[in-house]
Amino acid sequence: MAGIIKREQTLDKFFYGLTFSAAFLVLAVIGSIFISLFRESLPAIETFGFYRFVSSTAWDPVREIFGAATTLYGTLVTTFLALIMAIPIALGIAIFITELCPKFLKPVFGTAIELLAAIPSIIYGMWGLFTFAPLMGEYVEPFLQQIFSPIPVIGKLFSGLPLGIDILTTSIILSIMIIPFIASIVRDTFALTPVQLKESAYGIGATRWEVIKDVVIPYSKTGIFGSVIIAMGRALGETMAVAFVLGNKHAIATSLFSASATITVTLANEFTEADSDLYLSSLFYLALILLTMNFLVLAIAKTFLTRKGKVWC
Amino acid sequence: MTEIAKRKLINSGALCLACFAAAIGLFWLIFILSDVLRHGIAYINPSLFCKTAAPPGMDGGGLKHAFVGQLLITFFALLIGIPLGILGGTYLAEYGRYQRIGRLISTISDIMISVPSIVIGTFVYAIFVKPIGHFSGFAGSVALAIIMIPVVLRTTEDMISLVPWEIREAAFALGAPYYKVILQVVYRGAATGIFTGILLAIARIAGETAPLLFTSFNNMFFTTNMNEPMPSLTVTIYQYAMGPYDDWHEMAWAASFSITLFILTLTILGRLMIRWKYKN
């Protein structure tokens, strides 16, 4: 009897240790990702420093001068434009699902929007390259150019030959990819608004839109903010869809119709072709910068979304 | 116009915009899926699954090598990822529910779910491919496993947390040690949920391309040796789509169609299972 209890106690401890090490592995992995990326990028850090690397627009593999400014610019611009396009649509979708959609359609429509997030990014890339970019280059962009190019300052954004492989197309595709992330989190926070609050507003004669605008949205602003930041994290790290339609050109572009490069695309296209140690190390440096940005952005989103005691993501 | 009429007008205008936004969302989904379906279904044929690649520029050939490679890489990723994810999730829900370290790991896993997959590719390149000196299918599996572990871990944690504490107490009262309670009672209660988590994790990694670019790399030949560079469907789609030949593009569409169909089926199945299990 004592033997059995002893054995069970040992097994109990063993199982505890087993599960603990599996859980601890997550910390170990994220830690070693940071450490090993830092170690691999040391030569580039020593050669270029931080400020000089981030601010330099050079990307010259032949002369071995590398800077992150062009790719950082591409990453930030496409992410920013994608967010601007995605936020209103995603909010509209969330309003539609919580306030307007007939009850029996709610789960169907919600799942349909979430399927947009399940489509792998390489499919977005295929569709973008073969179907969407030609449409943009042939019809949409010349049309936009016609309208906007006579206007003095804005016209500059629409200059150049519209080919469809450019910042605008990429941002639109990115915006489609992040809509479901914002929409589904915002929908959940909308649904948490206390019914009493809404009913009091209706009681004093507010219209549906006024209830949404003045009660539901203010009540869920942390959720909205958090969801936008999560979507931003996604857009920053998106690789394959962008690799197909952005054109991988290292330059600071001022037109929406010019090709550009992001950190992710540069990694995808040049990593296996980097022929010198400094080149490879600079690519690792880019990866480290991307990881750090992404990690910070998501940590901010987490603190926003968990502050109210519920975790959505 | 009276004040009320104006407010009513704004109200209907805003609600129309919301409907319009919903229509846009639906439009993109239908546009993309119908496009993949239209292009893909035309090029699905038996030789796609039975033949390996023809030399570049030549007609014929198929993607058998890529299908097999994808299956192998995914299989080994699951072999690493599922047990680690489930065990880790068990710790978080059972032992670490109110511990600092448990909460920390849970938060970090949430963040890790969103770490760019290409960064994980560079990491595996640095710790696995570079020391060994060549690309390999195993490296691809490790990269995919790192991506799926946080997904499985978090769903397992959530699903185990839903199992009522009284059920465990009933088992304790019979004198069962904790590990037996977990293995035989808790897991049974959370099985559907954990299984759903695994389905969704498979759907997540099946479409990943970026982490495979520098790990399993690519290969035009049929191989089952996981220690060699391995072809995968997704990387092959990338290569073929960017290539110059029309029949490459056709095969890329066919592969895109198969992979989309597989992933959407898994995703919908997973959601239906969750709804069916936790209806109330």
Beta bridge partners of A66: A59
Compute CA distances B109 → A114, A154, A297, B132, B153, whole Å. 21, 43, 15, 28, 8
Mean per-residue pLDDT, B117-137: 93
Residue ranges of A 14-53 with Cβ closer than 8 A to chain B: 14-16, 18-20, 22-27, 29-30, 32-33, 36-37, 39-40
Are B89 and B160 spatial neighbours (Cβ–Cβ below 8 Å)? Answer: yes
> ipTM value of the model?
0.91
Structural domain contains residue A126: yes
The CA-to-CA distance between both ends of chain A, in Å, stands at 48
Q: What angle do CA B163, B167, B168 make, to 5 degrees?
A: 90
pLDDT at A308: 54
* Residues in A touching B90 (Cβ below 8 Å): 19, 22
In the predicted structure, residue A277 carries a pLDDT above the cut 80: yes
Q: What are B187-238's pLDDT values in tens digits? A: 998 999 899 999 999 999 999 999 999 898 888 888 888 888 999 999 999 9
pTM, to two decimals:
0.92
- By the 8 A CB rule, do B102 and B92 touch? yes
In A96-216, alpha helices (H) = 106-118, 121-127, 133-135, 141-148, 152-157, 167-191, 195-203, 208-211
Q: Are A53 and A67 in contact (CB under 8 A)?
A: yes
What is the C-alpha to C-alpha distance for residues A53 and A70, in angstroms, rounded to an integer? Answer: 11
**Distance (Å) from the C-alpha of residue B151 to the closest C-alpha of chain A?**
11
Put simply, the chain A residues between 54 and 113 with a CB less than 8 A from any chain B CB are 88-93, 95-97, 99-101, 107, 109, 111-113
Q: Residues of B with CB below 8 A from A131's CB?
A: 35
Assess if residue A100 is contained within a domain: yes
Q: Residue B71: what pLDDT?
A: 94
What is chain A's mean pLDDT, rounded? Answer: 90
**B120 interfaces chain A, CB cutoff of 8 Å:** yes
Q: Do A96 and B10 touch (CB under 8 A)?
A: no
Q: What is the pLDDT of residue A311?
A: 44
**For A290-306, how does the pLDDT look when each residue is reduced to its tens digit (9 = 90+)?**
999 999 999 988 887 77
Residues in chain A closer than 8 A to B40 (CB atoms):
none
Interchain CB contact of B70 with A (< 8 Å): no
**B-chain residue closest to A128, CA distance:** B32
* Closest CB from B10, B115, B118 relative to A209: B10
DSSP A158: T
A-B C-beta contacts closer than 8 Å: 273
Contact of B9 with chain A, judged by CB distance below 8 Å, is answered with no
Q: With an 8 Å Cβ cutoff, is B194 touching chain A?
A: no
What is chain A's alpha carbon radius of gyration, rounded to the nearest angstrom? 24
Please, is A174 exposed, middle or buried when counting C-beta atoms within 10 Å of its C-beta (0-12, 13-18, 19+)? buried
Tell me which residue in A9, A26, A126 faces B241 most closely, judged by beta carbons.
Answer: A126
Decide if A234 is inside a domain. Answer: yes
**What average pLDDT does the segment A153-167 reach?**
85
CB contact under 8 A, A26 and B241: no
The residue among A12, A27, A33 with the most chain B CBs within 10 A of its CB, best to mutate, is A33
Q: A313 pLDDT exceeds 50?
A: no
In a domain, A163, yes or no: yes
**Residues paired with residue A156 on neighbouring β-strands, in sequence order:** none
pLDDT digits (tens, 9 = 90+) for A96-145: 999 888 988 888 898 899 899 999 999 999 999 999 999 999 999 999 88
pLDDT of A266: 93
Q: Which domain holds residue A296?
A: 50-306
Least CB-CB distance to B234: which of A30, A114, A122? A122
Q: Which residues are CB-contacts of A308 (< 8 A; sequence separation ≥ 6)?
A: A222, A223
Q: What is the mean pLDDT of residues A238-250?
A: 90
| Over residues B241-258, mean pLDDT | 90
Q: Looking at residue A312, what is its pLDDT?
A: 43
- For residue A121, the domain's CATH number is 1.10.3720.10
A247 phi and psi, to 5 degrees? 90, -10
For chain A, the domain total comes to 1
Residue B246 reports pLDDT greater than 90: no
Min Cα separation A154/chain B (Å): 25
Taking CA atoms, what residue in B is nearest to A13?
B179
pLDDT at B226: 87
Rounded Cα–Cα distance for residues A151 and A144 (Å): 12
**Per-residue pLDDT tens digits for B17-59:** 999 999 999 999 999 999 999 999 888 888 888 888 877 767 7
Q: Report the residue of chain B nearest A178, measured CA to CA.
A: B25
A100-104, A305-309, B148-152, range with greatest mean pLDDT: B148-152
Per-residue pLDDT tens over the stretch B225-237: 888 899 999 999 9
CB contact under 8 A, B208 and A120: yes
User: Which residue from B minimizes the CA distance to A206?
Assistant: B7
Question: In sequence order, what are the beta bridge partners of A260?
Answer: A247
Residue B148 in contact with residue B76, Cβ under 8 Å? Answer: no
CB contact at 8 A, B97 and A216: no
* Cβ–Cβ gap B267/A115 under 8 Å: yes
A240, A288, A289, best to mutate vs chain B, most B CBs in 10 Å: A240
In a domain, A65, yes or no: yes
